[in-house]
Amino acid sequence: MNRYAIKVEYHGAPFSGWQRQADHPSVQGAIEDALAKLEPRAHTIAAAGRTDAGVHATGQVAQCDMQKDWDPFRLSEALNYHLKPLPIAITECALADPDWHARFSATERRYFFRLLMRRAPAVHDAGLVWQVSHDLDDAAMREAASYLIGRHDFTTFRSVSCQSNSPVKSLDELRIERVDGRSGPELHFHVRARSFLHNQVRSFVGTLERVGAGAWDPIDVKHALDARSRPACGPVSPPQGLYLAHVTYPDDPFA
């Protein structure tokens, strides 16, 4: 078997998430079905992260094992052909070491979140941003976000269905920038860590939005973190603004 690393971009709206499900469309299932068109057998691929329903990716990374000695470019082209017309694209493909693993070899994951602030419905960015009708105080949100940086027990910001063995994680970056988007003013959240809990990023963004709207004070985010209790979390943001943007490996197969 030859192991290949593939970089995957997808629009999450039509899918129930990354992970294959018996009765619902998934990104994993679509790629495995495409692989079966190239080598007719059951395929099981693994990814750097399991994104939820409606979440997008610009830099998801997965692995697949092929019996044939494929040229990486030809493999990516063949997969893209069989993935049409689904909103999934293999943007890079590389031969990887047999012991390289898309999930367990990763040392960092980066997520990106888009929050659009305007009253009129988004047209060109519909389904690609979380839209709120009011302006937000991004300075207050940055102050609140500073309390989340570092190593903490993030029980407050994890889904009750999270399967991680521990709620203790290190958050390396939670940066908020205001930009002029094509549909109006946006806040962009850049979030970086080795690994994340289920719904952690969306819990951060939804809670910080409450700070920006003036419903919470920045210090309330620290109190919520210290509570180590899921009910202390603010609302969880919807999925459509979230993107898995980049995965880092010490021996990057795409380098």
Cα–Cα distance for residue pair 144/142, rounded to 1 Å: 5
Residue 247: strand pairing partners: 109
Active site residue 52: yes
Cα–Cα distance for residue pair 2/18, rounded to 1 Å: 23
Cα–Cα distance for residue pair 13/24, rounded to 1 Å: 12
DSSP assignment of 76-92, as one string? Answer: HHHHHHHHTTSSEEEEE
DSSP assignment of 39-106, as one string? Answer: S-S----EES--PBTT-EEEEEEEEEEESS---HHHHHHHHHHHHTTSSEEEEEEEE--TT--TTTT-
From the list 52, 153, 217, 220, the catalytic residue is 52
Active-site residue set? 52
